[in-house]
């Protein structure tokens, strides 16, 4: 089965917010991404609403026909309320701090086990699939299993950074983490700094990779290639990996 491509549209909201109007139109962009082949749309609302606004999330839900994935820190009550109200296909829990530029670490699933267990149960009882953002670390994968989450999202920044230096070495912790997650019957997603350059090798080596969510590189590529072509280029990287 091919890995699903979920397009993170935060950057489109950042561009729109720069002028205060509605250009580019985020809702149209999201539905166009679906038309061009995206198999999911990801948003990451943050409390300061500097890119995706809470109202965007509410408006997007009835328009989308693919998997809607909302990422964020559940320690913000406003985030939890938004997810429970919107009921996306998936919520991805990320331990990012207030005002953080971008997510830069996974959960410590051991220290936060009880907390994650209870918030995951709340989302799951609302019929929302859960995923938690984790580093490629066996102890954190084992801790993730204890929380009851459906899936993990492997934080791929270190892979992306080391890919050009030594891709065989860069992928090793991810292969080990993914194999262990499969053994424990956890679904596997991945994201952060994945690109046209490094995506194919990642998908080829990570068996059972269900979904990647990609924002920064994909939207940057779209400046050169257009969004329709860019989505096709990313899908091709995933297809040739099967």
- Active-site annotation holds for 44: yes
CA–CA separation, 209 and 18 (whole Å): 35
Which of 133, 163, 202, 234 forms a contact with ligand PXP (CB under 6 A)? 133
192 belongs to the binding site for ligand PXP (CB under 6 A): yes
Minimal distance in Å, beta carbon 122 to ligand PXP?
Answer: 20
60: closest CA among 21, 34, 92, 99?
Answer: 34
Region of residue 34 (phi > 0: left; psi between -120 and 50: alpha; otherwise: beta)? alpha
213 belongs to the binding site for ligand PXP (CB under 6 A): yes
Stretch of residues binding ligand PXP (CB under 6 A), selected from 139-147, 161-169, 210-218, 228-236: 210-218
Long-range contacts of 135-139 (CB under 8 A, 24+ apart): 135/105, 135/106, 136/173, 136/174, 136/176, 136/177, 136/178, 137/106, 137/173, 137/177, 138/176, 138/177, 138/180, 139/110
193 belongs to the binding site for ligand PXP (CB under 6 A): yes
Q: What is the DSSP string of 62-130?
A: GG--SEEEEEE-TTSHHHHHHHHHH--SEEEE--PPTT-SS------TTTTHHHHHHHHHHHHHTT-EE
Minimal distance in Å, beta carbon 32 to ligand PXP?
Answer: 19
Stretch of residues binding ligand PXP (CB under 6 A), selected from 17-25, 74-82, 176-184, 208-216: 208-216
Q: How many residues bind ligand PXP (CB under 6 A)?
A: 19
The separation between CA 53 and the C-alpha centre of its own chain, rounded to angstroms, equals 17
Residues within window 81-110 making contact with ligand PXP, judged by CB under 6 A = 92, 94, 102-103
**CB closer to ligand PXP, 62 vs 230:** 230
Q: Between 16 and 45, how does the x/- string for binding to ligand PXP read (CB under 6 A)?
A: ----------------------------x-
Residues lying near ligand PXP in the complex (CB under 6 A): 8, 10, 44, 71, 92, 94, 102-103, 133, 153, 191-194, 213-217
User: Which residues are catalytically annotated?
Assistant: 44, 71, 192
């Amino acid at each position: 089965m091919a890995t699903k491509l979920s397009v993170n549209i935060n950057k489109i909201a950042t561009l729109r917010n720069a002028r205060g109007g509605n250009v580019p139109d985020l809702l149209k962009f999201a539905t166009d991404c679906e038309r061009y082949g995206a198999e999911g749309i990801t948003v990451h609302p943050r409390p300061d609403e500097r890119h995706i606004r809470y109202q965007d999330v509410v408006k997007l839900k009835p328009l989308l026909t693919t998997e809607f994935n909302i990422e964020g820190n559940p320690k913000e009550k406003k985030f939890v309320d938004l997810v429970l109200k919107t009921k996306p296909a998936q919520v991805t829990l990320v331990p990012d701090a207030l005002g953080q530029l971008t997510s830069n670490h996974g959960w410590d699933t051991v220290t936060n086990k009880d907390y994650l267990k209870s918030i995951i149960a709340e989302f799951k009882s609302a019929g929302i699939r859960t995923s938690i953002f984790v580093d490629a670390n066996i102890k954190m994968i084992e801790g993730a299993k204890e929380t009851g989450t459906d899936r993990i999202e492997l934080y791929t920044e270190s892979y992306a950074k080391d890919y050009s230096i030594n891709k065989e070495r860069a992928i090793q912790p991810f292969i080990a983490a993914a194999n262990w997650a499969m053994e424990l019957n956890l679904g596997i997603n991945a994201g952060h700094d994945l690109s046209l350059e490094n995506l194919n090798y990642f998908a080829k080596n990570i068996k059972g990779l269900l979904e990647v969510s990609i924002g920064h590189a994909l939207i940057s590529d779209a400046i050169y290639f257009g969004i329709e072509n860019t989505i096709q280029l990313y899908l091709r990287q995933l297809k040739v990996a099967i």
